Chains A and B, each alone.
Chain A
C-alpha cells in the first residue's frame, strides 16, 4: 500500500468547509420493530474530527445505530441532526463499509469505476485509490475472487471514492487475519488523519485501543457510556463496559 496523494481527500475538506454536517447531535433516538424496542432513547454528540468506536455485545443495536445515522433506516422516534440536516439528506456525504462487503460482479477496477461514474467523480482517481489500498496488481481480476481482506480493502476504496466526510464501518475486520486487520486499520487511520470523521463498530478491544479517540458503549439498545478512549480503557464508568473489557459475558 502506498501513501495516498493529498488530492484524494481535497473534495472532503472543501465540502466540509462550505456546508459542514458535523458536529452530529443525536437526541432520544428510538427504534422499534413491532413491540420490541431495539434502540431506546439514545442521545450523544460527535465532534467534527476523530474516530468514535461503537462497542457492545451482540444485539446491543450497534449496526442498527450506524444505519440510522447513515439514513438507511428511519427512527421510530428521536432526531439525528447533521449540522441542521436530516440524516437521509446527507447520505451522499457519508459512506458505509459493511461487515460483509457486497462487491459487484465485475473486475476490481470496474468496482471503483462504477462508483466514480455513478457519483460523477474524477475517473482518474481509480488508480490512486487502488494503489492506496494495495490492490493495483489485482485491478483486472474479478472482484468476487478476492480474499476476505482484499475484498474489504476494495470496499473501503470504493467508500473513499465517494469523498465521504463521515465514514461508517460496521465490523469491517471481523473474521480477518491480523495482517488484513492492520492493513484496514492503516487505511482508516490515514482517512481520519486527513479529516474524514470515522464511526467504527467493533468487538475487538485491541482494535478499539489502537484507533479510538472516544468510545460509545451500547448495551441492550441504550448507551451505557460515551467517554474518551483514554478514560474508557483504564477506567470504564459502567459495570457493563467493565465486565466486557474484563472478558465476562455481557448480554
Chain B
C-alpha cells in the first residue's frame, strides 16, 4: 500500500505522458458534457420554474427522478442506439469520445434541469411581481432569471460536472476503455485495479480528488466574491 502511494506520487510528479493523456481526455469529455447539459438543462429548468401548466407536478417528479439515473442504464441505452444495428449506428460513434460525451450529457442534463429549477423558482418568487409590473415577456423573464442566478447556477453546473467526471458505468459501456482513444480516469482506475496495478490507479484517484477539490475551491471563491457584492 505504501509502495503504491509512493509510485502514484512519482507518476503524478513526473508528468507521465499516458497519465496526462487520460486526465486530459477525462476533462475534455466531462467538461463538454457539462456544457451541453447546461445548454439543455438550464432552459428546461427555467421554463418549468416560471411556468404554470397542467401536469407540472408530474414533470417535477420525472425531473427529480431522472437525477438518479443509473450510469450503466444510460450507457446501455446509448450503446443500443449507437451500436451497428441501432438507429444511430450509421454515425459510427460507438467507442469514441463523442459517444462518451453523449452518455454523460444524458446522465447529467436532468441533474442540471432539476437543480436549476429549484434555484430559479426561488428567485422567480422574489422577482415575479416586479417583472409582471414591468411587462416583461416570458423570454425576458427567463433570461433575467438565468443571469441573476448565475452564481448559484455555477454550483448546479459543478454538481453536474462532479457526477460526470466521477462516473464509470456509462463511459465504459459506450467508450470501451480503449487505450489512447477512450480511456478516462474512472475507467482506467477500474481496469488498473482489476489488473493489480494499484500505483496507476491510485495516481489517477489522487488526480481525480485534486480536480474535484480544485474545481470546488474555484467555484466557492467565485461565489464568495459575488456574495460580497450581494449578487448571490
Residues of A within 8 A of B135 (CB): 91-92, 119
A119 B134 Cβ-Cβ under 8 A: yes
B134 A162 Cβ-Cβ under 8 A: yes
A72 B230 Cβ-Cβ under 8 A: no
Residues of B within 8 A of A95 (CB): 133-134
Q: For chain B, which range describes its interface: under 10, 10 to 19, 20 to 34, or 35 or more residues?
A: 10 to 19
Chain A, 113-160, CB within 8 A of any chain B CB: 114-115, 118-119, 142-145
A115 B134 Cβ-Cβ under 8 A: yes
Q: Which residue of A lies closest to B129 (CB)?
A: A72
Residues of B within 8 A of A114 (CB): 144
Of A7-15, A101-109, A205-213, A242-250, the segment with at least 4 beta carbons within 8 Å of chain B is A101-109
Check: B126 CB closer than 8 A to any chain A CB. yes
Name the prevailing secondary structure of the A interface residues: mixed
Residues of B within 8 A of A91 (CB): 132-133, 135
Residues of A within 8 A of B148 (CB): 104-106
State in angstroms the CA–CA spacing of A72 and B131 once bound together.
10
State in angstroms the CA–CA spacing of A143 and B147 once bound together.
15
Residues of A within 8 A of B133 (CB): 70, 72, 91, 95-96, 98
Candidate in A70, A104, A144 with the most chain B CB atoms within 10 angstroms: A104
Residues 187-206 of chain B: 1 if any A CB is under 8 Å from the residue's CB, otherwise 0?
A: 00000000000000000000
B230 A145 Cβ-Cβ under 8 A: yes
Q: Which residue of A lies closest to B152 (CB)?
A: A105
Check: B229 CB closer than 8 A to any chain A CB. yes
Chain B, 215-232, CB within 8 A of any chain A CB: 229-232
Return B65 CB to nearest CB of chain A, in Å: 31
A105 B230 Cβ-Cβ under 8 A: yes
State in angstroms the CA–CA spacing of A43 and B205 once bound together.
74
B229 A102 Cβ-Cβ under 8 A: no
Q: Which residue of B lies closest to A155 (CB)?
A: B130
A72 B231 Cβ-Cβ under 8 A: no
Residues 113-140 of chain B: 1 if any A CB is under 8 Å from the residue's CB, otherwise 0?
A: 0000000000000110110111110001
* A72: contacting residue among B126, B132, B232, CB under 8 A: B132
Residues of A within 8 A of B231 (CB): 105-106, 142, 144
24 A-B pairs in the complex with CB atoms less than 8 angstroms apart: A70-B133, A72-B133, A91-B133, A91-B135, A92-B135, A98-B129, A98-B133, A102-B130, A104-B127, A104-B144, A105-B231, A105-B232, A106-B147, A106-B231, A114-B144, A115-B134, A118-B134, A118-B140, A119-B134, A143-B230, A144-B230, A145-B229, A145-B230, A162-B134
- Residues of chain A at the chain B interface (Cβ within 8 Å): 70, 72, 91-92, 95-96, 98, 102, 104-106, 114-115, 118-119, 142-145, 162
- Residues of chain B at the chain A interface (Cβ within 8 Å): 126-127, 129-130, 132-136, 140, 144, 147-148, 229-232
